[in-house]
Amino acid sequence: MAVRGDSARLAEHFIQEGLDLARVRELAARQFGWEEATLDRAERAYRDFLWVCWNFGRNGDRMAWVSALADKMWHCHMLLPAAYLAATEEIFGRGYILDHTPVMPNRQRVDDDDIAVAIAHYVELGLEPPSDLRDECIWAIVRF
């Protein structure tokens, strides 16, 4: 269930408007050769992904859904470790980070149930579910 209240409004505002992804965009443009339109779509997908994570990843469970565009932006963000740590602590709380596991254990893949859960979470938040969900990447909000 989506989180409501003042903390949700603050988190959403930071994710959607306060989080500076200019350097992440520069990295993505260089690394993937993306033009502005693709950068805009990737940034939107990444921001939406962070908002979904904030709402539905609070229990520490590993979840297996991220769009391919968001995943590439996420990788670029992680290449700026100080900025990434500062952003994830601002979003998820001091001492927490959005952990990334690029391949699921034992060559598992995201299944139809995982995709249905992902779509339901995006829809509950009024977001367009990504059409390019990855089938092997997992994430969790973890304390470090």
Domain ranges in the chain?
6-143
> With contact defined as beta carbons under 8 Å apart, do 49 and 42 qualify?
no
**Residue 136: per-residue pLDDT:** 59
Find residue 141's DSSP bridge partners. 98
140 SS3 class = strand
- pTM listed for this prediction: 0.87
Residue 83 token pair: 């900025």
- pLDDT by residue for the chain (144 residues), tens only, comes to 566 678 889 999 999 999 999 999 999 999 999 999 999 999 999 999 999 988 887 666 667 678 889 999 999 999 999 999 999 999 988 998 888 776 656 666 666 777 788 888 889 999 998 888 766 566 677 777
